[in-house]
Chain A
Amino acid sequence: MTYLEALFASMTRQLTQLIPPHEQENVFMVGIHTGGVWVAEQLHRRLQLPLPLGRLNIAFYRDDFTRIGLHPHVTDASYLPVEIENRHIILVDDVLYSGRTVRAAHNELFDYGRPASIKLAVLIERPGRELPIQADVVGVSLALTANQHIKLTGPDPLSLDILTFD
């Protein structure tokens, strides 16, 4: 089993404990574009959730839009194939760092309707939160230095690297 497969297996176990069997029909998993979608595809397949996978592109909801503009080009729009009203949402991202991406994702989700609940699952969490946001399911927690970044490439094959910048 590769390192990533072990992380996905751990996340799957945590999610299974989090979702009561009678709620599974009403669970809608949504990955955040792009790395979060790749992680969500893995989890969605392992959990065999009945509802299709959604994806969220939060580029239009970023709080730094007026500083950095439309960055990067937004070509892969959000896709939510089922109503989210009263659904239990599992929001999936690759890395949880400042928390601003998750905040933007919350804002976008609520523009589609009012979910019953939202749980957050991330492959990697690292310290440095700028907002009061925490994950319910975590693959691994890593304390990186300021000049280190996590890079997930994929979707096939998925690989995880820690890059160090001078």
Chain B
Amino acid sequence: MNIQLDSQGRLKHFLGIEGLSRELLVEILDTAASLMPVNEKAVKKLPLLRGKTIVNLFFEPSTRTRTTFELAAKRLSADVLNFNINASSSSKGETLLDMLNNLEAMQCDMFVVRHDQAGAPFFMAQHVPPHISIVNAGDGRHEHPTQAMLDMFTIRQHKGDFSQLRVAIIGDILHSRVARSQIFALTTLGAAEVRVIAPFTLIPKGIENMGVTVFNRLKAGLKDVDVVMMLRIQRERMRSALLPSEHEYFQYYGLTEDLLMEVHPDAIVMHPGPINRGVEIESSVADGARSVILQQVTNGIAVRMAIMAMVLGRGHEGQSCHSS
């Protein structure tokens, strides 16, 4: 049984893409699409989560992701608490379970969790009472499912059908929770081909079992792809033995205007941000006509709204009524 789903197959938590059905992913994308017009209204709010309290529990710093979660929750009329864990009781020795129990006692409804340990949101989902939902905002090297869903939303916006798409994911595949979630999402949605492109040191063993094709040379991997998904290179990897230097990485794996000659003429370029200009992507490509990077940021709000609404709005099981 998937801990993310209730007995009727609806989202109870959103912890990872792995194990979710194509229908459920499409439902998230459809719901997000219908939430997009909220941005055009005079009052950019919906009453769906009025009276609900959502806690952003970020054990790792991330201004961008936390802000989009906060904005999404506020656009659904929820009350939002932001916990800076470094300055909180966890640094005073409180356990995760103690912290959860205390937050539960404050009558919260949802925890949005980012943690450097893979599986932390799963652990929380196993220990919270049934009325509380957990949304994974990135856990260790495991998954970053809301980022993957906003990427899928952006791809569908530009390409429509997934079944004809060749998608390349480029960069630190080994450490990237974004890449894992993207691969799960793309294969579930039926993308024709998913390629991963990286140096040998940044490709996890056995990744072919996830249904992807591995390339070590960027130019060959980019041939005829419809979507180019860049990953952020973390500078600390440069100091380890995994990568030589920023300059050398860019020379072999940086996305340049010249390399875009290899991709399909209508291909789009994506990046989850924040961008390291001149390390994984040339500035003119990041700002160029094919770039949909800022659209990804905009779409992130609607997608996170959709996931929060679906998770908290699943209703009591077995009830159904309609009035006019």
Q: Give A residues with C-beta under 8 Å from B.
A: 57, 59-61, 64-71, 73-79, 85, 93-98, 100-101, 107, 110-113, 130
Contacts and interface: CB of A to CB of B under 8 A. Distances in A.
Contact of A57 (B27, B34, B47, B315): B34
B41 A75 contact: no
B315 A68 contact: yes
Q: Is the interface of B mostly helix, strand, loop or mixed?
A: loop
B319 A67 contact: yes
A30 to B, nearest CB: 14
B319 A98 contact: no
7 closest A-B pairs by CB? A69-B315, A98-B323, A111-B43, A69-B313, A74-B34, A77-B34, A97-B324
5 contacts: A60-B46, A67-B321, A69-B10, A100-B323, A111-B45
Of the listed residues A61, A67, A130, the one surrounded by the most CB atoms of chain B closer than 10 A to its CB is A67
Contact of A101 (B314, B320, B323): B323
Given A64-B323, A73-B30, A112-B42, 18 more contacts: A60-B34, A60-B47, A65-B315, A67-B315, A68-B315, A68-B319, A70-B31, A73-B27, A73-B31, A75-B34, A77-B33, A93-B324, A95-B324, A96-B324, A97-B323, A100-B324, A111-B45, A112-B41
Contacts of B34: 57, 59-60, 74-77
B310 interface: yes
Nearest to A98: B323
B31 A68 contact: no
Contacts, number: 81
Interface string B79-92: 00000000000000
Given A66-B313, A70-B31, A111 B42 contact: yes
A159 to B, nearest CB: 18
A96 B324 CA distance: 6
B274 interface: no
Among A70, A78, A100, chain B packs the most CB atoms within 10 A around the CB of A70
- Which has the most chain A C-beta neighbours within 10 Å: B35, B46, B321, B323? B323
Contact of B36 (A59, A77, A93, A113): A77
B44 to A, nearest CB: 8
Nearest to B76: A60
B37 interface: yes
Contacts of A94: 324
Contacts of B309: 60, 70
Interface in B212-231: none
A30 B312 CA distance: 30
A68 B318 CA distance: 9
Contact of A64 (B31, B310, B321): B321
B48 interface: yes
A113 to B, nearest CB: 5
Contacts of B321: 64, 67-68
B205 interface: no
Given A73-B30, A107-B47, A66 B315 contact: yes
